[in-house]
Amino acid sequence: MRHILFLLLIAMAAPAALAQTYKPQHPMDALTAEEIALAVDLLKKEGQANADTVYPSISVFEMPKADVLDWKPGDPIKRRAAMVYRNNGETYEAVVDLGEKQVVSHAAIANVEPMILDREWAFARDKAMADERWKKAMARRGYTQLKLADVFCTPVSAGYFPGQDYQKRRILMVPCYDRVDKLHPVLARPIEGVLAVVDTESGEVLEVIDRDIVSLPEAPQGYGKTLPQDDAPLKPVEIAAIKGVNFTAKNQLDLTWQNWSMHVRADRRAGIILSLVRFRQGEANRMIAYQMSVSELFVPYMDPDPTWSFKTYMDAGEFGLGYLISSLQRGIDCPADALMVDLTFPNDVGGTYTRPRALCVFERATGDPAWRHYNSAREQTDGRPEIELVVRTIPTLGNYDYVFDYVFRARGSITLRVGATGFDAIKSVSSADMDAASAETDTRYGGLIAPYTVAPNHDHFVNYRLDLDIDGQANSFVRDTLTMAVLKDSPTRKSIWRVKSQRYKTEGPVQPDHSVEGGEVFRVVNSLKTNALKQPPSYLIHGGHNAVSVIDPADPAQARAQFSANTFWITAYRPGEMWAAGNYPNRSRSDAGLPKFVSNGESIADTDIVVWYTLGFRHIPAPEDFPILPTLWHEVVLRPMRFFDRDPSSTLNPEFAK
């Protein structure tokens, strides 16, 4: 959520010439560098764009779902670009047909702010640091004769708060940090109490908030003057496919592994988008998900201080989970022999840049049995090792790195995993420990995680858009409640539990009720098909206990991210409904996504539905988060239920290929 400028500078340094210029092979492929150049050119020829136009978003405008499902390799592909662009501070949308070479439609979109642009970061920082009020506030803190080299300022998104008088502006907030040596993270020494508010179009510094001074300790707080010695080196423990891999990857990017197949594409906002996720069973190639991706990531902080309270980031819609993907390291981020894939993204000025090693794909043996049984009569054990396929990206959103995994198993399950690592967002305080007189005040809204260092409490809400199509599109959403049943006539038992199913009829939020006595499960079911046992096939969405936002719905931050108040939202499939907090969450006033999508109450019975799942976790920071946050994993599992006739992993060959 917090944005670090240098990441962007690396991204911009990669010239468009490095971008891959492959021809699209599949309707779901991301736009190629050539296609983006053509789209921009056509927009200019139409008189809609000029040399000053900026492009917050250029993405593939997908073919209609029915056409994608009919498409076979070798068939023609209708390629169109969906563009969001800005001229003189106004926002426009256009659809450009790349085959017909024409602009299909264009329109001005009023009262929206597209995602933050590359040029705005450095611009906001420089304007803040040139402002006399800011210099005065810094001088109060001992930064006289200030040089850029002394401090590190990194703008962040502003949220939207009706009480502020810079409501209609495109603004960024600029907090600053004392410059530290290379041994320490760049955000290790926050300079508290100073915050510049910058209009990124006019360059005007709208306000400099200058509050209480918190003096910084001599060394980066909590780290000491030197870092601790390393432990003795371990003998290596590795994951390796020593005889080659069992998956195939071609084009950008068709993946197959065992019975699984899927298409993966880069997306500046979502990170990656998985499409056409299928499981082959004999002759049939059965659809499980038409599309899966992260649609938003909302991270509200719980500190009311004016220099902190605005921190209510929407990392996908404001910053871009693809835009901030960081390159993966072999042997640490992914196994040493993982397939590394460079991803090409559109930039703001109508070109592209390529992030090297942005995505990795690998198999791993988990060390666990996929299944096993000891047969006592025969005194023998049968089993298979668990081997899974992982598709991984790691965007770095300022202080946090999020490991986003899609994990596939032979049993037919898909696990969506999120690992949060990197650093807690921290503030400098005057308390060295909890015996300090100021400790109670300093830790009212967060935890002391090191001397002079508090990390404010916060939530992470990852919303997944799951366009599941279980054996086709006629799907319904079902809640199975496990309820206690009294047995009046039983000579032995007095009660048992039974399963009661409820099928949802209309769009809306669905909230798990953790207080129900026996528990509950949620499924997407195709009532019009059956397996060999004549049962309707379904997939369970198994998330376990899961946090939702408890912020007051009237709170301005919550109003923009209403999706986070419910674990599930179910909508009828509509092309173009991609983002849980709406197309334009940056500086939005209310959530124009899910609450809007469900407002017309369309039917969701036996039809094409989309499940939106919020994987939420609260974070009460503690010293174990410091000096770095060991990866904190959360997951949701999509598991077959009556989809197969028997466990598909039961037939795994007990021998490995020689």
* C-beta of 286 vs 634, nearer to Cu ion: 634
320: left (phi over 0), alpha (psi -120 to 50) or beta: left
Strands (E), 171-244: 171-174, 176-178, 194-199, 205-210
Helix axes 132-140, 118-130, angle to 10 degrees: 70
- What's phi and psi for 43, nearest 5 deg? -65, -40
- For Cu ion, the binding residues in 187-226 under the rule CB under 5 A are none
User: Can the peptide bond before residue 627 be classed as cis, meaning omega within 30 degrees of 0?
Assistant: yes
* C-beta of 1 vs 389, nearer to Cu ion: 1
- For Cu ion, the binding residues in 618-657 under the rule CB under 5 A are 619
* C-beta of 619 vs 634, nearer to Cu ion: 619
Q: Report yes or no: 288 and 266 within 8 Å, Cβ to Cβ.
A: no
* C-beta of 79 vs 619, nearer to Cu ion: 619
**Interface size with Cu ion, residues (CB under 5 A):** 1
- For Cu ion, the binding residues in 144-183 under the rule CB under 5 A are none
* C-beta of 456 vs 556, nearer to Cu ion: 456
Q: Report yes or no: 383 and 365 within 8 Å, Cβ to Cβ.
A: no
Residue closest to Cu ion, measured at CB: 619
CA distances 415 to 188, 538, 540, Å, are 34, 16, 11
Full 3-state SS string of 149-174: HHEEECCEECCCCCCCCCCCCCEEEE
* C-beta of 157 vs 258, nearer to Cu ion: 157
Closest to 1 measured CA to CA, from 155, 128, 228, 104 = 155
DSSP string for 245-294: -SEEEETTTEEEETTEEEEEEEETTTEEEEEEEEEEETTEEEEEEEEEEE
- For Cu ion, the binding residues in 423-462 under the rule CB under 5 A are none
We find the least distance from the C-beta atom of residue 454 to Cu ion, in angstroms, to be: 14
We find the least distance from the C-beta atom of residue 402 to Cu ion, in angstroms, to be: 10
We find the least distance from the C-beta atom of residue 420 to Cu ion, in angstroms, to be: 6
519: left (phi over 0), alpha (psi -120 to 50) or beta: left
The pattern of x and - marking residues 75 through 104 that bind Cu ion according to CB under 5 A reads ------------------------------
CA 223 to the chain's CA centroid: 30
Alpha carbon distance 607, 476 (integer Å): 7
148: left (phi over 0), alpha (psi -120 to 50) or beta: alpha
* C-beta of 427 vs 479, nearer to Cu ion: 427
Helix axes 5-13, 118-130, angle to 10 degrees: 130
Closest to 320 measured CA to CA, from 457, 120, 458 = 120
- Non-local CB neighbours of 16 within 8 Å, separated by 6+ positions: 33, 37, 347, 351, 352, 353
* C-beta of 421 vs 483, nearer to Cu ion: 421
Alpha carbon distance 467, 291 (integer Å): 5
Residue 286 makes contact with Cu ion by CB under 5 A: no
The pattern of x and - marking residues 230 through 249 that bind Cu ion according to CB under 5 A reads --------------------
Secondary structure (3-state) at 598: coil
Instruction: Report residue 134 as tokens.
Output: 């800011």
We find the least distance from the C-beta atom of residue 625 to Cu ion, in angstroms, to be: 8
* C-beta of 290 vs 298, nearer to Cu ion: 298
We find the least distance from the C-beta atom of residue 106 to Cu ion, in angstroms, to be: 41
Instruction: Report residue 266 as tokens.
Output: 């880069």
Name 301's bridge partners: 458
We find the least distance from the C-beta atom of residue 545 to Cu ion, in angstroms, to be: 17
Alpha carbon distance 498, 583 (integer Å): 43
* C-beta of 185 vs 518, nearer to Cu ion: 185
The residue assigned the tokens 């195709």 is 526
We find the least distance from the C-beta atom of residue 457 to Cu ion, in angstroms, to be: 9
We find the least distance from the C-beta atom of residue 472 to Cu ion, in angstroms, to be: 39
Instruction: Report residue 141 as tokens.
Output: 């803190």
We find the least distance from the C-beta atom of residue 620 to Cu ion, in angstroms, to be: 9
The residue assigned the tokens 């539905």 is 609
* C-beta of 62 vs 625, nearer to Cu ion: 625
* C-beta of 341 vs 418, nearer to Cu ion: 418
- For Cu ion, the binding residues in 26-55 under the rule CB under 5 A are none
We find the least distance from the C-beta atom of residue 256 to Cu ion, in angstroms, to be: 36
We find the least distance from the C-beta atom of residue 46 to Cu ion, in angstroms, to be: 45
Q: Report yes or no: 525 and 536 within 8 Å, Cβ to Cβ.
A: yes
We find the least distance from the C-beta atom of residue 313 to Cu ion, in angstroms, to be: 11
* C-beta of 1 vs 77, nearer to Cu ion: 1
We find the least distance from the C-beta atom of residue 621 to Cu ion, in angstroms, to be: 7
- For Cu ion, the binding residues in 595-624 under the rule CB under 5 A are 619
* C-beta of 479 vs 619, nearer to Cu ion: 619
Angle 361-367-371 from CA coordinates, rounded to 5°: 100
What sign does the CA torsion over 348, 353, 358, 361 have?
positive
We find the least distance from the C-beta atom of residue 189 to Cu ion, in angstroms, to be: 20
- For Cu ion, the binding residues in 109-128 under the rule CB under 5 A are none
Residue 1: what residue type?
Answer: M
The pattern of x and - marking residues 548 through 567 that bind Cu ion according to CB under 5 A reads --------------------
* C-beta of 311 vs 619, nearer to Cu ion: 619
We find the least distance from the C-beta atom of residue 460 to Cu ion, in angstroms, to be: 6
What is the binding site for Cu ion (CB under 5 A)?
Answer: 619
